[in-house]
A and B are shown apart, each in its own frame.
Chain A
């Protein structure tokens, strides 16, 4: 059973991120194991499905508490998309909604003791980021054709041709680099936040245990460390929500570039 829950008893803060295979699957030379990361991802997805299944089952005019929360989640995402890219952006509602609740459930499931945080691995967050950017590029070219390239060369208006040439020679590389940096920052931000938060939690918990077992005056240190850990724990719940929100809103902002390439 212990393999489901990562090295719960281990004292170093890194071992909680170790990936373990629960079921060896080998397809045509590819290693497609069912790992502890996969397991907790599936748990998160099922919890989300169960939550919205129950929340949407009654459809009461005067909503129950659970239904209100579900509706709040819906209007939250819908308002966000409408506010940034108008009614036109709502065709991406399913994508953004899924991304938000996938990351939120992964982050929150990771807050359970002994659970594995799937979003603390750059492989997971990078996959999400690359998927978002691929959709932006693909849809941008599909909708605007080559006009999508206007994103990298904003119209400058009336200007001397030489001045225009010089400005574009500077602007296009800058715009290109800042576009290429988007998937990197998108992936790294989520990954780094979850990783750092869980390491800090583990460190404070480890301090508390070590100082308490040392006894003597260090007991006070253990109490302080425990309180700090508890505070960080509360902060981590906020971070779990905030990072999912940030990922979703940046997805919408980038998709808006595909909808309206001219700034």
Chain B
């Protein structure tokens, strides 16, 4: 056993968050701007990912049932897999937002540069 860390969890959390903010990743300001514009858009997209995967799972289940004449066995199984896939692609989509934020921040920087050179 190593010596337990004396600092409280709260302190360590704050320190970790500080370090994370300092490293790469979108600034808080960028995140706020993005979220204020399209919070509904993000919600809509996560919902679409979830619904899409569930529907695909259901469709595969119905197809397999028709093929093997085992209704409703595969429908139930693939529905479960579809929901699981929906949750997973939702999580992936959320991770992709970080990438999008960075790309948008880059574009914003480019635009600022152009605007800066345009106005003497």
Contacts and interface: CB of A to CB of B under 8 A. Distances in A.
B66 interface: no
Nearest to A172: B81
A68 B114 contact: yes
Interface in B51-71: 52-53, 55-57, 60
A75 interface: yes
B85 A76 contact: no
Interface in B80-109: 81-82, 84-86, 88-89, 92, 96, 99-100, 102-104, 106-107
Contacts of B35: none
Contacts of B4: none
Contacts of B106: 76, 79, 83
B9 interface: no
A177 B107 contact: no
A249 B52 contact: no
A261 B1 CA distance: 40
B26 to A, nearest CB: 12
B49 A185 contact: yes
Contacts of B114: 68, 72
Nearest to B89: A178
A238 B56 contact: no
Contacts of A84: 99, 103
Interface in A181-209: 181-182, 184-185, 188-189, 192-193
A177 B53 contact: yes
B118 interface: yes
A122 to B, nearest CB: 13
B48 A185 contact: yes
A181 B52 contact: yes
Contacts of B60: 177, 180
- Enumerate the 4 nearest inter-chain pairs by beta-carbon distance, A residue then B residue, closest first: A185-B52, A177-B85, A178-B85, A181-B53
